[in-house]
Structure 1
């Protein structure tokens, strides 16, 4: 192995998806695939999940949504919630991408582009429930809903969903967010049919707060086996990816491995345990292109070291590494460079 590898298990992804879907039922899973499926590779993740029966994908931006559409085909529902340019709106409308809308201005632009193209836009209106992450304020909600309904009557728009983000800061604050969300749904219901799609929760709240779930739950990290920072382990969920590098030299009783900070390995995680053929050893130092690992009996060039993974060789998870430097497991995965080869194991 001349280059470090991120080894990704398709069977583990399938098992995680099944476990998540069972946990959140009857809410439907929206698998979030932003940031190249959290560094795991969007095309194979979408292909695997689509074959496993996942019907909804959350892409964040339109560009990624189009990638999902190319892989999954026309039946899958794809949701993009980043405010987009007019050209991106056009692409999304032509490819039947559902759009998350958090401002009156963005809604107006979508309606205008739908009229110009002669298509119907599928829209999910977002209410600000207190996180203040791109959502319509309560005092503006009635007017935005009225505009959406007018466009619906004109045949330019289908109001298919109501959604929001919550802070997941405390149970009390999340309860307040749910109350604001349900009030927004009530207002929509007074103007016409209540949309069948309602989604408020992401990974953590979907997992632990069933009473907050809507008909749809947006879950990304947990499906890949990445638990929340400072959060408990997840029953039935395992990390699907392991970062592996081989020993390139033996120096003063320690092993030199072929991965370093230039590959996206944070130098500040030095001191963490990693997995070797003889179990856990200390990651002593991280240099630009190599790292030094505490040696073990019988070590040899070509031996494999697991920097993070499911723990089968004494290594810890990406989230456990992230907690050492006060960040989240997703960052450890998404910062890996293209020199780290992605290898899918089935």
Structure 2
């Protein structure tokens, strides 16, 4: 068993259920579960396997090494894998040997994909990434015009097969923003141009989590939800995740490392920005910003409440909602447990999970922590550090440790927790 005094418990059945819910939102499209960034901190391979169990037939990752690692665990018969973010010199030949689909976002990228195809003797399955207005990675429509003849020539030579065209929204989390429709119109024009030039596309894909949930017009042949796969909503202004049929998959919890009485007026943690207002009991939680607890969720002033936690909860519910007292440190932070606290070292506190939220005095959610830190829930889950063991519940008994956390978690994160 791990001796690390905290863990991220990942419910694989929740991931599978979320994929099923997302498929219901897009019944005319296939689902690509985006599992980049170690599956948003949930663990690459276990999360991918759970997504496939939920009906995903595509998996998406940003980096080529992620795709190669994923393909080693997931056969092509279970799901196709697409990778899209690489610089010159990336191991594209190894990706083709692993039967990974490649995105092309520039002329040099097409040249390197063609070279890798010739080196390996494999036909590269290519998705053309088009910048329809985000202003980030991808070919502008003008760039595409220049690249398309070379791509079609490589296809006629048998080096590549143009199987997809795709893009990404700038404002999908604001469904009524005028850029959403404007980008879709550019996308339609680009797809028409590519098909008219002679490409026989297998998939056209534009919708991320937000567009999957809110914009049926944007579903095309394939939707690419990421955050929503893990039960978090990209549109919290439209209601909590449960309103979309989603269940957060990650619960972060820790054992108190110390509990002690302290006098009124005592400063707490670095800078003493928090001071006790009465004789009280402090509890030390052995997680800090090196583990992904945001320093911006420090409880420095009465006007700046810290990140929320549930203390003393049991399997039957209950518990007390408290907030971080003072500065979050590298490896620890402090709670003001109150003068009547009965907690002891070793008792469990839960930072966030699939609860009803801090507003109801229930188990906080990643969204609650995002609001406390002035960020987004994506960052809260993806920043949970490698030394925090991932423990998997539900899903397949063979689910192993996450790609990031394997060294820290070792065999304990393979164990099943009831």
Whether TM exceeds 0.5 here: the answer is: yes
Q: Confirm or deny: 8 A CA contact 1:43 1:71 kept in the other structure.
A: yes
* CA deviations over 1:87-130 (Å, ceiling 9, x no partner): 51111111121111111221122112212322211001122201
Unaligned 5+ segments in structure 2 are: 262-280, 299-305, 313-318, 395-418
Q: Confirm or deny: 8 A CA contact 1:161 1:197 kept in the other structure.
A: yes
Secondary structure, counterpart of 2:257 in structure 1: strand
Q: Confirm or deny: 8 A CA contact 1:242 1:310 kept in the other structure.
A: yes
1:124-273 matched pairs, under 5 angstroms: 124-168=127-171, 171-228=177-234, 230-231=236-237, 232-234=239-241, 235-252=244-261, 253-270=281-298, 271-273=306-308
Q: Confirm or deny: 8 A CA contact 2:6 2:254 kept in the other structure.
A: yes
**Given the alignment, which residue of 28, 31, 35 partners 1:29?**
31
The answer to which of 185-194 and 302-311 deviates more is 185-194
Larger radius of gyration: 2
How far residue 331 of structure 1 moved from its aligned partner, in angstroms, is 1.5
Q: Confirm or deny: 8 A CA contact 2:17 2:54 kept in the other structure.
A: no
How far residue 85 of structure 1 moved from its aligned partner, in angstroms, is 3.7
* CA deviations over 1:208-239 (Å, ceiling 9, x no partner): 11111221111111110122275332321121
* CA deviations over 1:141-185 (Å, ceiling 9, x no partner): 233222111111111110000111110165311111001000001
Distance, in Å, in 2 between the alignment partners of 1:2 and 1:300 is 18
Secondary structure, counterpart of 2:207 in structure 1: coil
Match of residue 280 from structure 1: 321
Distance, in Å, in 1 between the alignment partners of 2:105 and 2:90 is 18
How far residue 288 of structure 1 moved from its aligned partner, in angstroms, is 3.2
* CA deviations over 1:52-72 (Å, ceiling 9, x no partner): 332100011110001110111
User: 1:308 and 2:352 equivalent?
Assistant: yes
How far residue 295 of structure 1 moved from its aligned partner, in angstroms, is 1.6
Q: How many residues align?
A: 346
Match of residue 66 from structure 2: 64
Distance, in Å, in 2 between the alignment partners of 1:138 and 1:184 is 7
Secondary structure, counterpart of 2:256 in structure 1: strand
The answer to which of 96-105 and 275-284 deviates more is 275-284
How far residue 333 of structure 1 moved from its aligned partner, in angstroms, is 1.9
Distance, in Å, in 2 between the alignment partners of 1:85 and 1:119 is 20
Distance 1:335 1:274, change over 3 A: same
Distance, in Å, in 2 between the alignment partners of 1:191 and 1:116 is 27
User: 1:299 and 2:317 equivalent?
Assistant: no
Match of residue 289 from structure 1: 331
- What is the RMSD of the two structures over their aligned residues, measured on CA atoms? 1.9
The answer to which of 58-67 and 139-148 deviates more is 139-148
The TM-score, its normalising length taken from structure 2, stands at 0.78
The TM-score, its normalising length taken from structure 1, stands at 0.94
Distance 1:249 1:86, change over 3 A: closer
Q: Confirm or deny: 8 A CA contact 1:79 1:100 kept in the other structure.
A: yes
